[in-house]
Amino acid sequence: MSHYFRSNIRAMSGYAPGEQPRDGDFIKLNTNENPYPPSPKVYAALRQSIAASLRLYPPPMSESLCAAAAAAYGVKAENVLAGNGSDELLAIVMRCFVDAGQRVAYPVPTYSLYDTLVEIQAAVPVGVPFPEDFSVPEQLARQDAPLTILCNPNAPSGTLVALPKIVELARSVAGILVVDEAYVDFAASEGASALPLIYQLPNLIVLRTLSKSFSLAGMRVGLAFASAELIAGMNKVRDSYNLDRLSIAAGSAALGDMAWMQRNAARIQRSRQQLAAGLKRLGYQVYPSHTNFILARQRDKNLQPVYEELKRRKILVRYFDAPGLRDCLRITVGTPKEVRALLTELATISA
């Protein structure tokens, strides 16, 4: 039946998410989920929302969520678009700004969903290799691409590009610049977010997700921030009723309790330091991480056997069978207990 599909869909392999084991006995450090629960206000909002109103369609524009995001981040509601996770917002961006055959540029290695979305759009992925330190590649702005994406902090490296470089990049690219800030709440320094720049850079779109720092991966809530003109245009291609009532309620409540999120982010930052120190003692090269995960490398050594042995011992980490990453493991920062368990097992495997 494959002949019914468009040729580019036949040719693509599709996005491969991290493993989600049915057996709950695993220490799960492979998909960058937050080890701590969401705010109690989220549970209260969900309980209140489970009512007869579930028979009705949700507000199509997710007004209460956009208002909560505007209040939390100091922007206007007209500068916010809510999505079914930031993944949907990335798909909206592709449909808005990229025609079939056009180029989409981003540094690599990075979030592999970008490749998939470009292929679906029948566009041309232009992966510009990162230098060794994961700084912005000099050639990135020279690709004549209607869309350029920068994951910042980057996945899977965890590294962060400073705001002056983002300003320079936005002013140099040919079209739209998307800064994907899925992990920015875990950054070690203040002022890491490009969000305040949307008022001075008309081609900038900043994406956020509530999956990571707000512990809402199961609710699928994403946010796009941009000029009112860009948001209005993106709304034209947004799926109708793209967020359900429960996601809107949960996201609004989470954004109303920033202190809870920030406390959990600080806990993860402390555990990240412990994990990085332990990995260095075991001989791993550790990139400076501003996320809730660490990229650990043993130069020129394929780490798939280490990944597989950890899995056999009921610990999941992420291994990428891809150029430039086969000697790496990406490890989500878990609780202190989970971090200790991982380091203990790695020590016996490496011995």
Give pLDDT, residue 197. 97
Terminal-to-terminal C-alpha distance of the chain: 51
Q: Which residue matches tokens 């900043």?
A: 206
Give pLDDT, residue 339. 97
Count of other CB atoms within 10 angstroms of residue 305: 11
Close Cβ partners of 254 (under 8 Å, ≥ 6 residues apart): 38, 39, 41, 42, 210, 214, 215, 216, 221, 260, 261
**What domains lie within the chain, and their CATH numbers?**
21-37+259-350 (3.90.1150.10), 40-256 (3.40.640.10)
Burial class (CB in 10 A: 0-12, 13-18, 19+), 279: buried
**Joined tokens for residue 321:** 């069978």
Give pLDDT, residue 223. 98
Give pLDDT, residue 351. 52
Taking only Cα atoms into account, the Rg of the chain, rounded to an integer number of angstroms, comes to 20
pLDDT along the chain (351 residues), means of 10: 79 76 85 97 95 91 97 97 97 97 97 95 96 95 97 96 96 97 90 94 98 96 98 95 96 98 97 97 96 96 96 95 92 97 93 52
Give pLDDT, residue 6. 83
Tell me if 150 sits within 8 A of 179, measured CB to CB.
yes
Give pLDDT, residue 326. 94
